[in-house]
Structure 1
């Protein structure tokens, strides 16, 4: 049985969710970003129990098919930006999403906009900007290196997009003492 879990955005989330299923005596065959596959179908009581446990950790079981598709799109993009930025240059995100979900991109784009109130493209831009913020806060890379890492065509392109989304230049953001990052699941 495949279950879709909202707000799983990192490897720690996967560990927490896997642990919750294990402690609930529900064997899993796969725990990935936003998706849990169980060995057996769950009855209503098991579904309610695991749903409550997930909610106590800020996760949510998704049962609406439209929301499930949107969730797959979001986790696909989060995974691309957070763990596989090298693929940003090699693939077309719309083709990648369409292949991952198994539906026409135009349909998925319309669905995403209806459910989320924003476009897939804007969501991807927001994910990339959050990754830029993270890298700026860590202060391990120059802006030029960050632009290369996230496959921006130039530092100017990165800076323009950063300012459009945040209202700040990357250098001004870096100078701020307070952390202006947004949790990935709140984007």
Structure 2
């Protein structure tokens, strides 16, 4: 039978690659693996669950069993994917509508659950993700600040500049002039 597991702290393709390798090394029969969701073919789900938990913990991941935590992880993954697709797919939708559409839930309810579990609002988490993307795009040196602000869905450069300074303590131009790549990994933002 197929058993679905939700995994905490999976934020990138490297996470998928690492977990796939570790589980294959242990002989797991993986049906599918994507950010935050693993499906395994097994005849003994309880034994597999215990083994899986041990493997994940050794690699700084964890199983999610609580429905609220599952929702929070889904929100984080969707937002990471939304920001991660920039610049190929600029953000042109309100984040609240995007999440409501993708998860078929009321945004206000999701926001309360997210804030309760993460002790930060979805909006602040989204800002942190976007600021990390700004750092990446500045470091690439392919885009000017105005282009970056539009790609990330800011109404104007001033709005991005203010959020960037609030989050990092330095202006966009100062950050760029430093020439360093002070970025936080996405699993360490909170």
TM-score (norm 1): 0.89
* Distance in structure 2 (CA, Å) of the matches to 1:159 and 1:125: 12
* Structure-to-structure mapping, 1:35-46, within 5 angstroms: 35-40=37-42, 42-46=44-48
Matched, 1:139 2:159: no
Query: What is the Cα deviation at residue 172 of structure 1?
Result: 1.0
Query: What is the Cα deviation at residue 177 of structure 1?
Result: 5.5
Q: Matched residue of 2:154: which SS?
A: coil
* Distance in structure 1 (CA, Å) of the matches to 2:164 and 2:112: 25
Match of 2:187 in 1: 185
Gaps of 5+ in 2: none
Q: CA, structure 1 residues 41+80, in 2 after alignment: closer, same or farther (shift >3 Å)?
A: farther
Q: CA, structure 1 residues 110+41, in 2 after alignment: closer, same or farther (shift >3 Å)?
A: farther
Query: What is the Cα deviation at residue 49 of structure 1?
Result: 1.6
* Distance in structure 1 (CA, Å) of the matches to 2:43 and 2:77: 24
Q: CA, structure 1 residues 84+173, in 2 after alignment: closer, same or farther (shift >3 Å)?
A: closer
Superposition misfits of 4+ residues, deviation over 4 angstroms = none
CA contact (8 A) 1:129 1:162 kept: yes
Match of 1:160 in 2: 162
Query: What is the Cα deviation at residue 87 of structure 1?
Result: 5.5
CA contact (8 A) 1:24 1:50 kept: no
* Distance in structure 1 (CA, Å) of the matches to 2:43 and 2:55: 18
1:148-187 Cα offsets, whole Å, 9 max, x none, are 3223222222111111221210111122365431111111
Matched, 1:88 2:86: no
Q: CA, structure 1 residues 7+161, in 2 after alignment: closer, same or farther (shift >3 Å)?
A: same
User: What is the CA RMSD across the aligned residues, in angstroms?
Assistant: 2.0
Q: CA, structure 1 residues 34+97, in 2 after alignment: closer, same or farther (shift >3 Å)?
A: same
Q: Matched residue of 1:88: which SS?
A: coil
Q: CA, structure 1 residues 37+99, in 2 after alignment: closer, same or farther (shift >3 Å)?
A: farther
TM-score (norm 2): 0.87
* Distance in structure 1 (CA, Å) of the matches to 2:151 and 2:103: 26
Gaps of 5+ in 1: none
